[in-house]
Chains A and B, each alone.
Chain A
Amino acid sequence: MNRLAVVDALLQPERCSDWPASRWDAAIRQARSSRLLPSLAARFEADQLPDLPAVRRAFATATVSGTATATRMRWELDQLVPALQRAGVRPLILKGAAYLAAGLPASRGRLFSDIDLLVPRARLAAVEDSLRFAGYVSTHLDNYDQRYYRQWMHELPPLQHMQRLITLDVHHNILPLTARAKPDADKLLAGAVPVAGTPFWTLQPADLLLHSICHLFYDGEWDHALRDLWDIHQLLQHFGREPSFWLELPARAAALDLARPLAYALATVQQVFDTVIPAATSDACAAALPAHADAMLALFQAALRPVNPSCRRQRDDLARFAVFVRGHYLRMPLHLLLPHLLRKALRRDDEDDAADRPAPAREQ
């Protein structure tokens, strides 16, 4: 299969020197629409860039954005520590924030705007109180939304700082309470590890990976799926330097009820990024795949492609829609999901308007 320009560039920066301008163009466009441009820029040395002003500008711009995200997020993370300690919980961070604090390769150039926390469910009220005292307040004020999150989800309604507008997702689990898979939050908390040299904690390597996998292979939002898969590739490469990681991974996934998402993720990341995965691990995971796995993998492959005119195919839109439906189906039983979607569809969209305005200057 003809590989996407952005995938080629991510994997082999040293092989791009003879690219025509059109291929650079495609790589930049695909990276930008997958929110991967700063990650891509971080892979290149200055002397590997072509003599095309637009390419150099795009990469230099992305580097500024990536650095600004890291600087801002490091500072925002520090602001959280007193509020969490006051509530008597460890500052346990997930996803982008965790990669950044731990200095993982996956954090290089990674754009993110929300901070994800994990706290014991029993401490949720105390944490919410303490965060509110520190200026983080609930954004979803509608009674229905509040009930939706608190009764069915694995997190509080998103909190936002009143002045700085940073968003916090306070989780008590990594999947909704209504989801078919039921990871045991106590196991996640028990396995948490401190981030050396910082006041933060995060999930142990296998759990950090499995959480990243949940976000893609147990969810329906695939607009930036390639970025999420690139995270998974980088986490595997990094943690996989330790042979015991590969040995323990399948059992850990089974213990957290995530064997199938892991199997899908390993097969997909191998197809897309040529990730080196020991055969023993692949084989151990393959048992969790259903009979129709090949069709599912083809669907994921299509849905992963960047949403960009440079690589647009009609069947990718269908695949993304199918994955979207699947995500909802996995996360909520139909007797809850259908009334919920109906309610969302019929609601006046006044409050969604704010999201449609011209994007603020800072994101990109």
Chain B
Amino acid sequence: MTLGSLRYREFRRRLAEGLVLGLPPYRIHVRSPLPRVAEGLYALYRDYPIYPDETCPDYRVALDMPPWRRWLRPQVQFLFDGFTPFKPLPADQAHAMFEWGINWCIGNHDHTRVIVHAAVLERGGRALILPGVPGAGKSTLTAALCQEGFRLLSDELCLIDPDNLHITPVPRPVSLKNASIPLIQQRYPTAVFSEPANDTLKGTVAHMQPPADAVQRAFEPAAPGLIVFPRYIAGHATDWQPLERHLAVLHSVEQSFNYNLHGPRGFDTLVALAKASHCHRLHYSQLDEAIPLLQAKLDHWTPPTAEDAA
């Protein structure tokens, strides 16, 4: 049963009591009486499964207003099984806070995999990993790629299985900021967006619904393909440069949520991932050049040779 098969009023009632939402590979118990959260989830998570309450979810989260901040400058707080890991935010950021909170849950409470802060897309079974330095334009590129022939695995979390280097999808809405929002809306007029949250720490934030195939194929992992460090530079010509493998590993370590907990296994995983991938830097200003380039690189992908690895 998918969330979208419920009528909105029924969904809102069940959300207020708490319901188990499948965010593959996780099951998350979500409770919120707030219309803002209900609207955001109903708009963006229609294709996701919901489960009966008897299951054991991975995490239990709630979004609610602290009783003393319901009327005067209302605020929302994120609860992880009754515990508040963050300070409250203005109430109009309630849905954005859900998305950030879920990222926090996964980054802090799933150490079955090595997790790198990166967007991941897939084409022909091969992963395109885009580690995120804030402001590099990773999300904009991700939003465009998943509308143009790439399957979205995640826009934030690259979950690497240490045993076989498979990348597990966690398809979720893509977070866009400021000028990227109208840019993507104009480029893809049919894409569905959440109501933007203004004046967040990151400026204006809106979330884009993931394409349906990303959710339907959420249990199909991808094999390593490319690790690309993108950077949007206004007016810059498209520049595709190989990146030395050790640098790709070091940058991945910097972007990892739980590398430090995995010990030697974490190191071995990130080294093996870099060795199984082609590592590059991409400076660009035109999506119309960057996207075909990345398509061609994955369509003509061959396993890295020992020379590549030098």
A binds B: yes
A residues with a Cβ closer than 8 A to B are 20-22, 24-25, 28-29, 32-33, 52-55, 57-58, 60-61, 64-65, 67-68, 71, 307-309, 312, 356-359, 361-364
Decide if A358 touches B86 in the complex (CB within 8 Å): yes
Instruction: Tell me which residues across on chain B come within 8 A of A53, comparing CB atoms.
Output: 25, 27, 58
Which residues from chain B contact A65 at a C-beta distance below 8 Å? 111, 261
Are the CB atoms of B261 and A68 closer together than 8 Å? yes
- Set of chain A residues within 8 Å of B9, measured between Cβ atoms: none
Tell me if B54 and A20 are in contact (CB < 8 A).
Answer: yes
Query: CA–CA, A323 to B104, complex, Å?
Result: 33
A-B interface contact total, Cβ < 8 Å: 76
Are A28's CB and B85's CB within 8 A?
no
For the complex, count residues of B whose C-beta is within 8 A of A: 28
Asked whether B55 is an interface residue with its Cβ less than 8 Å from the other chain, the reply is yes
How would residues 99 to 115 of chain B score, 1 for a CB under 8 Å from any chain A CB and 0 otherwise?
00000100111111000
Q: Which residues of B contact A64 (CB under 8 A)?
A: 111-112, 258, 261-262
Tell yes or no: B82 within 8 A of A by CB.
yes
Q: Is the CB of B54 within 8 A of A364?
A: no
Q: Is there contact, CB below 8 Å, between A359 and B108?
A: yes
Q: Shortest beta-carbon distance, B22 to chain A, in Å?
A: 11
Q: Taking the complex as formed, is B81 at the interface, i.e. its CB lies under 8 A from any CB of chain A?
A: yes
**A359 adjacent to B85 (CB under 8 Å):** yes
B73 — which chain A residues lie within 8 A by C-beta?
Answer: none
The residue on A at minimum CB distance from B265 is A64
Of B56, B110, B111, the contact of A28 (CB 8 Å cutoff) = B56
Give every chain A residue within 8 A of B262 (Cβ-Cβ).
Answer: 64, 68
A93 vs B277: C-alpha distance in the bound complex, in angstroms?
46
Please indicate the chain A residues that have their CB under 8 angstroms from the CB of B58 in the complex. 53-54, 57-58
Assess whether A358 is in contact with B85, with CB atoms less than 8 Å apart.
Answer: yes
Complex: A284 Cα to B104 Cα, angstroms: 51
Contact of A68 among B26, B60, B263 (CB under 8 A): B263
Asked if B260 lies at the interface with its beta carbon under 8 angstroms from chain A, I say yes
State the CA gap A130–B262 with chains docked (Å). 32
Contact A54 B82 (CB under 8 A): no
CB A64 to nearest CB in B, in angstroms, measures: 4
- Asked if B232 is at the interface (CB within 8 A of a chain A CB), the reply is no
Q: Given A28-B56, A54-B58, A358-B104 in contact, is the A61-B111 Cβ separation under 8 Å?
A: yes
- B42 interface residue, CB < 8 Å from A? no
Residues of B bordering A, CB below 8 Å: 25-27, 54-58, 60, 81-83, 85-87, 104, 107-112, 257-258, 260-263
Closest chain A residue to B78, Cβ basis: A358
A318 to chain B, nearest CB (A): 17
- Least Cβ distance of B78 to chain A in Å? 10
B contact residues around A357 at 8 Å (CB): 86-87
Q: Which of B26, B27, B83, B261 has the largest number of chain A CB atoms within 10 A?
A: B261
A65 to B111, CA, bound (A): 8
Q: Are B261 and A362 in touch, CB under 8 angstroms?
A: yes
A-B contact pairs, 24 of them (CB 8 A): A20-B54, A22-B56, A25-B57, A28-B56, A29-B60, A54-B26, A54-B55, A54-B56, A57-B110, A60-B112, A61-B112, A64-B111, A64-B262, A65-B111, A68-B261, A71-B263, A308-B81, A308-B82, A357-B86, A357-B87, A358-B85, A359-B85, A361-B107, A364-B108
Are A309 and B82 also in contact (CB < 8 A) when A68-B261, A357-B87 are? yes
User: Considering only CB atoms, which chain B residue lies closest to A52 in the complex?
Assistant: B56
Min CB gap B218→A, angstroms: 13
State in angstroms the CA–CA spacing of A189 and B83 once bound together. 40
Docked-complex contact B54 and A22, CB < 8 angstroms:
yes
Which of B60, B110, B257 meets A61, CB within 8 Å?
A: B110
Contact A67 B263 (CB under 8 A): yes
- Which residue on B lies nearest to A21, using beta carbons? B56
Determine how close the nearest CB of chain A comes to the CB of B81; give it in whole angstroms: 6
Question: What is the bound-complex CA distance between A77 and B262, given in angstroms?
Answer: 20
Kindly list chain B residues whose C-beta atoms are within 8 Å of the C-beta of A21.
54-56
Q: Which residues of A contact B81 (CB under 8 A)?
A: 29, 32-33, 308-309
Contacts of A52 in B (CB 8 A): 55-56
In the A-B complex, the 9 residue pairs with the smallest Cβ-Cβ separation, listed nearest first, are A64-B111, A68-B261, A21-B56, A25-B56, A61-B111, A54-B58, A309-B82, A60-B112, A54-B56
Given known A61-B111, A358-B104, A362-B260, contact A54–B27 (CB-CB < 8 A): yes
**Minimum Cβ distance to chain B for residue A24 (Å):** 5
Q: Please tell me if the beta carbons of B27 and A361 are within 8 angstroms of each other in the complex.
A: no
A255 shortest CB reach to chain B, Å: 41
Residue on A with the closest CB to B104? A358
Contacts of B87 in A (CB 8 A): 356-357
Query: Is B56 a contact of A361 with CB atoms below 8 Å?
Result: no
Closest A residue to B28 by CB, please name it.
Answer: A54
Residues of chain B with a CB closer than 8 A to A60's CB:
111-112
Could you say which residues of chain A place their CB within 8 Å of the CB of B82? 33, 307-309, 312
Chain B residue with minimal CB distance to A37?
A: B109
Whole-angstrom distance between the Cβ of B91 and the nearest chain A Cβ = 19
A138 to B112, CA, bound (A): 36
Nearest chain B CB to A38 CB, angstrom units: 11
How near does chain A come to B265, taking the closest CB pair, in angstroms?
9
* Complex Cα spacing A358 to B90, Å: 16
Interface centre among B85, B86, B108, B262, by most A CB within 10 Å? Answer: B108
CB-CB < 8 A to B25: which residues of A?
53
